[in-house]
Amino acid sequence: MKIQVLGTGCSKCNQLMSRTVNAVNELGLDIEVEKVSDINEIVAFGIMTIPALVVDGKVLVRGNVPKLDDLKELITKG
Amino acid sequence: MLKVFKWLADIIVYNWLKMEEASRWAGALHFFIEDITKIFFLLVIMIYVIGLLRATLNTERIRIFLQGKSRFFGYFLGAGFGAVTPFCSCSSIPLFLGFTQARIPIGITMSFLITSPVINEVAVVLLGGLLGVKFMIIYIGIGILVGVIGGIFIDAIKAERFLMPIAESMRSSETVMPDTENSQPKKMTFKKRHAFAKGELNEILGRVWKWVFIGVGLGAFLHGFVPEEFIVNNLGSGQWWSVPVAVLLGIPLYSNASGMIPIAETLLAKGLPVGTTLAFMMSTVAASFPEFVILKQVMKPKLLVIFFAMLLVMFTFVGLVLNVIPF
């Protein structure tokens, strides 16, 4: 599984990043969460609101920071 | 209905604290209590209700909608969507690039970006609640008009010449890929809408509460301690220069609408002309240094200067015009 957090470094982006890392850890997954901050790459995902969470190329979250439990569910169920 | 908050402030200030009605401190405290309680009441209810309605709206769908629309309507639609779409300024750049990539003219994108910070649910609710419906309608109308004219102007000067290479490459890239899968209107259960609205409420209140306190605090201070004659004599409509000065002052004073409106309320009550007040408010919320820094990533310095100068001229003009219209 590949997990990416897209964001340019605003506070909400950092929030989503750290929460995603927490979620991954709590789920006991051995995955490194990749941070995508290059604006070209972000736009290439076809999104316009950040932060965003991408799991296996699929945009699951955009423009908001879900709660930890919701993030865990999103990561496991897709 | 909103009288409740005045009664509440009456009871606390005059009955419980037994403060003298004419004293300055009583006036300031009364203003503070009435406004703080009223604002938070309005914000909680309205953000939640709007959140319920807005749960299915997203910018990707707006982009598809704006794509290929005729120019003239495009500006109005851009500004209109800017008014109803929530978006955090950190999304300005992806949004700008996303619109550009979809070959939406830069002017229409700018209409969106100008109107978006000026009009939002918080501003509208507070304006209606504190200053009245008439003022609210004027504010919304001007916010949209400024966005439309700004957009037309940006296209008229062919501003795409002044974009940074990254934005330029978006315009010429062939890979227009609207995210169709996620752009379909989603069916939502009420439970999901409720969760979304609750999230919005937490997020927005978490962001604006301190502005509300600062704004109401300053408003209360002005209300209690700055004499009316001072404002009327020094900043009344007779002094035309007070409008551009108010607009210039508004730039470093970066705030959002929630902090601005209680201050505007007091200033208006103290006799500051409507036009000057509105020009000051709009400049404070729409033109700011953080915005400047963000837009620097996609605009060349020349365009940035033109953009901000354009905002200043428009706000000043609006202020001057409204000052001579009797309300």
Comparing CB atoms, the residue among B90, B101, B166 nearest residue A8 is: B90
Alpha-carbon gap: A46 to the closest alpha carbon of chain B (Å): 5
Q: CB–CB of A51/A13 below 8 Å?
A: yes
Q: What is the largest CA-CA distance in chain A?
A: 32
Comparing CB atoms, the residue among A43, A50, A66 nearest residue B101 is: A43
Strands ordered across the beta sheet of A3-6:
A34-36, A3-6, A52-55, A58-62
CA B201 to chain centre: 17
Q: CB–CB of B247/B279 below 8 Å?
A: yes
**pLDDT at residue A78 tops 70:** no
Comparing CB atoms, the residue among B93, B95, B179 nearest residue A46 is: B179
Question: In Å, what is the CA distance from B325 to each residue of B63, B273, B275?
Answer: 37, 10, 9
Task: State residue B237's pLDDT score.
Answer: 65
- Judge: B94–A42 Cβ closer than 8 Å, yes or no: yes
Task: Kindly indicate the confidence band of residue A22, based on its pLDDT and cuts at 50, 70 and 90.
Answer: very high
Residues in chain A: 78
Task: State residue B183's pLDDT score.
Answer: 46
CA distance B188 to B196: 10
Task: State residue B177's pLDDT score.
Answer: 53
- Judge: B182–A43 Cβ closer than 8 Å, yes or no: no
3-class DSSP state of A26:
helix
Residues from chain B that touch A45, judged by Cβ atoms under 8 A, are 179
Task: State residue A5's pLDDT score.
Answer: 93
CA distance B22 to B20: 6
- Judge: A43–B178 Cβ closer than 8 Å, yes or no: no
pLDDT tens, per residue, chain B with 327 residues: 678 888 888 888 888 888 887 788 888 899 999 988 988 898 898 888 888 877 777 777 778 878 777 778 889 888 988 887 766 666 777 888 888 878 888 899 899 888 888 887 778 888 888 888 888 899 899 999 999 999 999 999 988 888 888 777 777 665 545 444 454 455 678 887 888 888 888 878 887 888 888 888 988 988 888 887 777 777 776 678 889 988 888 877 766 677 888 888 888 888 888 899 989 888 888 877 767 777 888 889 999 999 989 999 999 999 999 888 876
Average pLDDT rounded to a whole number, residues A38-43: 81
Looking only at the bridges linking them, the beta strands covering A52-55 and A34-36 are: unpaired
DSSP-H helix ranges across B251-300: 257-269, 274-286, 289-295
Q: Copy the structure tokens of residue B12.
A: 């606390």
DSSP line for B87-140? --GGGHHHHHHHHHHTT--HHHHHHHHHHHHHS-HHHHHHIIIII-HHHHHHHH
Q: Taken in order B16, B18, B22, B24, is the CA torsion positive or negative?
A: negative
CA distance B308 to B321: 20
Contacts of residue A40, Cβ cutoff 8 Å, sequence gap at least 6: B166
Q: Copy the structure tokens of residue B269.
A: 């009550």
Residue B141 CB burial class (10 angstroms; 0-12, 13-18, ≥19)? exposed
Residues from chain B that touch A13, judged by Cβ atoms under 8 A, are 90
Alpha-carbon gap: A12 to the closest alpha carbon of chain B (Å): 9
CA distance B32 to B215: 10
Alpha-carbon gap: A48 to the closest alpha carbon of chain B (Å): 4
3-class DSSP state of B208:
helix
**pLDDT at residue A3 tops 70:** yes
- Judge: A39–B93 Cβ closer than 8 Å, yes or no: yes
